[in-house]
Structure 1
Amino acid sequence: DRDGNVYVIERDAHRIVKLTPKLDKFLMQLGTTNEKGNDATRFNLPSGIAILRNGNIVVTDGYGNNRVVLFDKNGKFIKQVGKGAGGPQDKGTGPGEWNLPHKLAVDADENLYIIDREGHRLEVFDKNLNYIREIRNDWNPWDVNISRKGTDGIGWIADHKDERVLKFSLKDGKILAVWGKQGWGPGEFDWVHGIVVDSKGAVYAADTYGQRIQKFAPSGSASTAASK
């Protein structure tokens, strides 16, 4: 968050914990440890998180449930978005419905770009979880990130469909640049699952089965790779 606190998703324990910047003190927990559910106090395999400027917390509760949940900065439940109760069987294709809400990113206006992973789309909401629109393209997005400034209208997708990284327009989803393919070489991926952009425009892509993180210079060339 803006104070440097760290939020850790413990997916299989069905909870999220908040820690101090030095990771030496527990501050808060969302969810009930080892209890799955789809109410105000329980998750079912949560998948992603974003922190807003006022401290409010947005959680994609997607590996087990099909909902996105908004909490205040103290962890109090505010609202959720999803079909029906947002449970495991509550899949949908309409506005504000999900088939595995996965990861999310926030732009400079605090609009939320949320991946509907098995729906192969992004759904866009305002900071109060009011639906705005959807973005579709020929992709299967697994993660999304927005440049640090957040004002240039550019986003980045970790695309599982063709194992690649995409640069795209937040306005209309138009793909602006592409790199990567299936493989274990430089600039190749085997289940590209996470993506982050730093303040200088470098892109970091997490490669699940390649067991590494690759860094790409703003030009798109692979510059470094860190692995196990």
Structure 2
Amino acid sequence: MTRTNAGLVVVWGFVAIILVTISTTVVRATEPVRMGCGDMTFETVPGWGLRPDGNSPLGPTHGGVVIDTEGNIYTSAQAGVFVFSPEGKIVHTYLGEDYSNLHDMEIRQEDGEEYIYGARNKNAEGIKFRVRGGDVVLRLPFPTESGLALKRFSPTAITVADNGDIYLSDGYASNHIFVFDKSGKYLRHFGTKGNAMKEFNTAHGMTLDTRYEPHRLLICDRNHQPKGRLLHYDLEGNFIEEVITGLGMPTSVAVSGDYVSVPDLHGRLVILDRSNTIIAVLGNNPDRKKGRKFNVPQSDWVEGVFSGTHGSYWDRDGNLYVQDWNVSGRLMKLVRVNLQPN
């Protein structure tokens, strides 16, 4: 079924695949690769999410991953948002101008309905649309009410507080974080670009850190020198602490219970516990020429080795879905391994 309105194209099923530029090189299935350690041990699922011919259906990826209440996996690509079943089959897609270039996504249930919030760096806006149907219900352009005179607005991250306030990080430009109420009214902004303790040198990723009461913002300061770091801010925009440093180039954060997954653009994903200690490293790429690398064709993918880790999300069973920043479009499923004796 295809429904078309002004600015809205929602394509269900596999028809959408023909609209996307596809790599023509097939990667053959390999054996699962085990990674991590202890409670954070995972195995890859070779071929998960690929078409029957072995090719990726996504096209270039530079986005995020979220999961709805039914367990379907949403990942954003240059062309739009692709939705997979847990088994790796495409169940529907959101293609077209409204859904392209979602650099980061969050998913929220509000009044019994699910919505995706997205940060669109190339389109200079935040966006909110219904999961069921795809109707865009809110746009967040640069707020002129802020009184700022910015030459560029390029949002990279978005998250939502429990009261509905929306936080949109201008991570590729001013590094201000703009706060809106649930209706889209501008409230305030905080943060500034720099390399000092309370400044952002690319506020690239962000989420609501539900491990703490009251909840906090967990923000990736990706290009902080000498190494990338995570920061805590309260919901009013006040600096709390430097959470951890030495992370390479952290691109995003996803919280599940006491744990946080942190993709590193250098080609790995680290997992933190409640004390914000690294307890596992997944998919580490020892080849620096292929870490922080977009142009790794599907023919050069290595099972269990990442190249430009950009987005991640946990399902209800503790499995991880990880997206690489990649020219061919790479999304991987990592299954949690129970190492406890029966």
TM-score by length of 2: 0.55
Q: Is the 8 A contact 2:119 2:168 kept in 1?
A: no
Q: Partner amino acid for 2:201?
A: N
* Percent identity over paired residues: 27
Q: Partner amino acid for 2:116?
A: V
- The CA deviation string for residues 4-48 of structure 1, in whole angstroms up to 9 with x for no partner, is 122233221211222223244221211159x9x984999711001
Query: What pairs up with 1:50-69 in 2 under 5 angstroms?
Result: 50-69=159-178
One of 99, 107, 115 as aligned partner of 2:209 = 107
One of 330, 333, 338 as aligned partner of 1:212 = 330
Q: Is the 8 A contact 1:60 1:101 kept in 2?
A: yes
One of 157, 182, 190 as aligned partner of 1:73 = 182
| Counterpart residue number, 2:295 | none
Q: Is the 8 A contact 2:320 2:334 kept in 1?
A: yes
- The CA deviation string for residues 177-204 of structure 1, in whole angstroms up to 9 with x for no partner, is 1121226211111111111111211111
In 1, the alpha carbon distance for the partners of 2:247 and 2:307 equals 16
Structure 1 gap segments, 5+ residues each: 84-89, 221-228
Deviation at 1:79, TM superposition (A): 1.8
Instruction: Indicate whether 1:156 and 2:261 are aligned.
Output: yes
Instruction: Indicate whether 1:193 and 2:281 are aligned.
Output: no
| Counterpart residue number, 2:158 | 49
Paired residue secondary structure (1:2): strand
Q: Is the 8 A contact 2:229 2:246 kept in 1?
A: no
Q: Partner amino acid for 1:212?
A: R
Q: Partner amino acid for 1:78?
A: L
Larger Rg: 2
- The CA deviation string for residues 206-225 of structure 1, in whole angstroms up to 9 with x for no partner, is 012262111111239xxxxx
Q: Which has the higher contact order (CA 8 A, sep 6+)?
A: 2
Q: Is the 8 A contact 1:2 1:53 kept in 2?
A: no
TM-score by length of 1: 0.80
| Counterpart residue number, 2:284 | 181
In 1, the alpha carbon distance for the partners of 2:149 and 2:118 equals 19
In 2, the alpha carbon distance for the partners of 1:31 and 1:43 equals 11
Q: Partner amino acid for 2:260?
A: G
Q: Is the 8 A contact 1:14 1:42 kept in 2?
A: no
Q: Partner amino acid for 2:252?
A: D
Compared CA separation, residues 23 and 38, structure 1 to 2 (3 A): farther
Paired residue secondary structure (2:251): strand
Name the Cα RMSD after superposition: 2.6
Query: What pairs up with 1:14-163 in 2 under 5 angstroms?
Result: 14-32=124-142, 39=148, 44-83=153-192, 90-95=193-198, 97-108=199-210, 109=213, 110-119=215-224, 120-140=228-248, 141-147=250-256, 150=257, 152=258, 154-161=259-266, 163=267
Compared CA separation, residues 164 and 20, structure 1 to 2 (3 A): same
Q: Partner amino acid for 2:209?
A: D
